[in-house]
Amino acid sequence: MIMMLQILDFLGVAVFAITGTIVASRLRLDCLAFVFFSVFTGVGGGTLRDLLLDAPVFWVENQIYLVVCIAIGGAMWFLAPFVEKLSKPLRWADALGLAAYSVMGAAKTLSLGHPSIVAVLMGVATATFGGIIRDTIAGQPSALVKPEIYLTSAFAGAGVYVGLWVLGTPAWPAALGGVCAALLLRGGAIMRGWCLPPYRPPEDRGD
């Protein structure tokens, strides 16, 4: 469990840090802004999770997370033009970070002895908050308010992991199931435009 948490945590931090630098490159910011976007996007979701759970903030206890974010910010200053040539790099990197962090947040919450429903909600918070603050600071619409599936993907990842854990599934297969569930839904949204039916007020429904 400890090894799985560390791997998912580093994966989530690194991938979300990359998404922050992609936004910084599109805004044509300076090199320090690349590092700034990399850090707060990379650690934002996990910071919220630890504060809500009254747990030690992970990057305060282990500064290697900050080193990873700073290194990514510096590297992406040079690599951003190549990354931008990939197909929808920001959305796919965000999808991978969301999948990893939804499971990571839920797993850490369970490891601290909290109930399953709390674990699911903490998984969602961990997976989405970094992207929310990235988009907010960049002055861009958050993925949460777009019609395509985003929040639902985080719920799926955390929910599948917690459900498998409750059924006694070993940590790694449960984590893989959660990551795949989140990636499947988010990937469908990116490639096929999957979305849930939007709310329609009575006057639009003819009621």
Buried-state track 90-122, b at ≥16 Cβ within 10 A, e below 16: bbbbbbbbbbbbbbbbbbbbbeeebebebbbbb
- Using the predicted structure, report yes or no on whether residue 206 has a pLDDT greater than 70: no
The mean pLDDT value for 62-76 works out to 95
Give 127's contacts (C-beta < 8 A, 6+ positions apart): 12, 45, 97, 98, 99, 101, 102, 105, 154, 157, 158, 182
% helix, strand, coil for the chain, step of 5: 80, 0, 20
CB 42 within 8 A of CB 20: yes
Of 4-13, 92-101, 159-168, 181-190, the poorest mean pLDDT is in 4-13
Position 165 pLDDT exceeds 60:
yes
Residues 149-154: what's their mean pLDDT?
A: 92
Does 201 map to a domain?
no
pLDDT at 1 over 90: no
Per the structure, the complete domain to which residue 112 belongs is given by 2-195
**128 within domain boundaries:** yes
Q: Is residue 135 part of a domain?
A: yes
Confirm whether 200 is domain-assigned.
no
Whether residue 126 contacts residue 12, with contact meaning beta carbons closer than 8 Å, is answered with yes
Within-domain flag for 130: yes
* pLDDT value for 54: 94
Query: How many domains, the chain?
Result: 1
Average pLDDT over residues 68-86: 91
To 10 degrees, what angle do helices 2-26 and 89-111 make? Answer: 150
Backbone angles phi, psi at 195, to 5 degrees: -155, 160
Lowest mean pLDDT among 16-25, 27-36, 134-143: 134-143
What phi and psi, each to the nearest 5 degrees, are found at residue 146? -90, 155
In a domain, residue 102? The reply is yes
Residue 74 falls within a domain, yes or no?
Answer: yes
Average pLDDT value for the chain: 90
The one-letter amino acid at 74: G
pLDDT tens digits, 92-124: 888 998 999 999 999 999 999 999 999 999 999
pLDDT surpassing 60 at residue 207: no
* Confidence tier at 181 by pLDDT (50, 70, 90): very high
Residue 29 included in any domain: yes
